[in-house]
Amino acid sequence: MPILVELRKLVDRQISLFSGVDFTVDEANGLNGVYDYIISRSPRQFAVNAPILMPVKAKNEDMKRDLSQCLAEIVAAQLFNVREGNASHPVYGVVTIGSNCAF
């Protein structure tokens, strides 16, 4: 989180940071839950607005599980951005366990 707070300062507070908030995009397809972090393109810290980015923090160096989580979050972010009328930006994902990264 300290890195994300620094990022917000670097972009003159033109993004919002969320952590531990419920983010249900499509519950029927399992795209729901409490995400580690959500970065929203809004200077106001009130609501998640598109486009969004959702960093995934690795847990227990389990790259396979973390990649699955990352893929689900990519789909959720893309679906959310489309629904909010902001589908012009591609969605990317990255997972790191410190010594390895997967994009």
Domain residues for 82? 2-102
Cβ atoms of 41 and 15 within 8 Å: the answer is yes
Q: Is the pLDDT of residue 58 over 70?
A: no
Cβ atoms of 42 and 51 within 8 Å: the answer is no
Count: domains in the chain: 1
Q: CB count, 10 Å around CB of 51?
A: 19
What's the pLDDT score for residue 12?
Answer: 92
Q: Give pTM, 2 decimals.
A: 0.76
The two structure tokens encoding residue 48: 């998640």
For 5-54, the pLDDT digits (tens) are 888 899 999 889 888 888 889 999 988 888 788 888 888 888 888 888 77
For 59-96, the pLDDT digits (tens) are 677 777 888 888 888 888 899 889 888 877 788 777 77
Instruction: In whole angstroms, give the CA distance from residue 66 to residue 75.
Output: 14
